[in-house]
Amino acid sequence: MASEFEIIGRLKKWFPEIGDDAAILRDKRQETKDKRQITIVSTDSFVVGEHFGSYFSPYDMGYKALAASISDIAACGGIPKYALISIGLKDGDISFVEEFYTGIKDVAKAYGVKIIGGDTTRSNTVFINAVIIGETKRFIRRNGAQAGDVICVTGEIGSSAGGLIALQNKVKNVLTKKHLNPVPRVKEGKELVNYATSMIDISDGLLIDLSHILEESKVGARIWRTKIPINEGTRKIVKVVASFKPASTSVEDFAMNGGEDFELLFTIPKDKISEAKKKVDFTEIGEIIQVASYKSQVTIIDEKGNKIAVKGFDHFKR
């Protein structure tokens, strides 16, 4: 059975323009010479039971679906403008619909997004699709990382996975909100267009999302494990759960492989770090390295030179 990323790799042979968090819909700079007018678009899909567990209310489903989709626009340096929301429902439960779209409305209001359409249909499984249209003055792709660039992240890593574990084990923890109601880094992405050489949002896990940048850029990476910013709540929940479900990984491994933080993972030239930090709060966690020969094998090593296995969320493997 092919993995999600093997499927995407096969599709890229047919459609070489795919591969970033969003795509350029129209570049108005060619028409108006206005550097701010690049129109970008992204789409994302969610299945209840796969992406949203029983601990998600309809409000949380709507909230997270739109927030996660907005994050894809932020990951390319864009500002979200418009959205189309489609949903498949088992029946016409109006209370579910109203609560779901209240979550959509609250996120849309917070980020200045106008809901301009969508679709509803009957389905045996509840699913959601969001199409987001935005603008940016510079489209940041995944393929611009260069040897010597510093690898950086906004916020703290592993917080959403910590919240998920708390929800699954019915343990009270401040991180549950991080999982249910994530915060897309739109303001940070807008500032990073002036500095980043490549960027992606952390949805499938730090290492697996970093591997996308490395694969597209044909480079390797050295990660400083001890520099990865981890919320204290994550450390506590891993320790609590380990007391009755022994953990097989360290909290650092947990943070590197946990997904859905929706923080920005980006690369930046060393000489731009100081200037960028005046605009955006972020942490340096590694550096891009040149590999002797790049074929299809992503190389990530730690500060001691040990190779790190790439793990993370794959929709087609459990």
Domain ranges, ordered by start, for the chain: 4-136, 150-302
- pLDDT for residue 295: 55
Which residue carries 């999302």 as its tokens?
209
- pLDDT for residue 14: 62
Phi-psi region of 131 (alpha: psi -120 to 50; beta: other; left: phi over 0): beta
> Looking at the predicted structure, is the pLDDT value of residue 54 above 80?
yes
Phi, psi (deg, nearest 5) at residue 190: -60, -40
pLDDT in tens, 109-125: 999 999 999 999 999 99
State which H helix or E strand residue 4 sits in.
Answer: helix 4-14
- Mean pLDDT across the chain, nearest whole number? 87
Burial of 138 (0-12, 13-18, 19+ CB in 10 A): middle
> Looking at the predicted structure, is the pLDDT value of residue 313 above 50?
no
Which token pair is 70? 């907005």
Amino acid at 269: P
Distance CA(3)–CA(315), nearest Å, equals: 8
* Higher local confidence (pLDDT), 192 or 248: 192
- pLDDT for residue 109: 98
Which token pair is 11? 């599709």
Distant-in-sequence, close-in-space partners of 98: CB < 8 Å, separation ≥ 6: none
Distant-in-sequence, close-in-space partners of 79: CB < 8 Å, separation ≥ 6: 73, 112, 134, 135, 136, 186, 190
**Beta-sheet strand order (sheet of 79-89):** 23-27, 38-47, 127-136, 79-89, 114-122
Phi, psi (deg, nearest 5) at residue 247: -80, 145
Binning pLDDT at 50, 70 and 90, where does residue 140 land? very high
Highest mean pLDDT, choosing among 16-25, 65-74, 211-220, 229-238: 65-74
- pLDDT for residue 238: 82
CATH code of the region 150-302: 3.90.650.10
Distance CA(152)–CA(272), nearest Å, equals: 12
* Higher local confidence (pLDDT), 302 or 192: 192
pLDDT over 90, % of the chain: 63
Torsion sign across C-alpha atoms 178, 53, 212, 192? negative
pLDDT in tens, 2-36: 555 565 566 556 665 656 668 887 666 555 555 55
Pairing state between β 282-289 and 198-201: unpaired
Phi, psi (deg, nearest 5) at residue 315: -60, -25
DSSP-assigned letter for residue 149: P
> Looking at the predicted structure, is the pLDDT value of residue 314 above 60?
no
> Looking at the predicted structure, is the pLDDT value of residue 317 above 80?
no
On the question of a common fold for 4-136 and 150-302, the answer reads no
Distance CA(60)–CA(179), nearest Å, equals: 10
Domain at 4-136, CATH from 3.10.20.30, 3.30.1330.10, 3.30.565.10, 3.10.580.10: 3.30.1330.10
Distance CA(179)–CA(159), nearest Å, equals: 7
Q: Longest C-alpha distance within the chain, in Å?
A: 62
**CA distances from residue 86 to 80, 118, 291, 303 in whole angstroms, order as listed:** 17, 5, 43, 45
* Higher local confidence (pLDDT), 241 or 163: 163
pLDDT in tens, 76-93: 999 999 999 999 998 878
- pLDDT for residue 310: 79
* Higher local confidence (pLDDT), 203 or 27: 203
Phi-psi region of 287 (alpha: psi -120 to 50; beta: other; left: phi over 0): beta
Q: What is the pTM of this model?
A: 0.89
Binning pLDDT at 50, 70 and 90, where does residue 1 land? low
> Looking at the predicted structure, is the pLDDT value of residue 42 above 50?
yes
- pLDDT for residue 304: 85
> What mean pLDDT is predicted for residues 27-51?
77
- pLDDT for residue 20: 66
Which token pair is 256? 């590197």
> Looking at the predicted structure, is the pLDDT value of residue 209 above 90?
yes
pLDDT in tens, 258-299: 889 999 999 999 999 999 999 999 999 999 998 876 555 578
User: Facing residues of 289 across strands?
Assistant: 220
- pLDDT for residue 315: 47
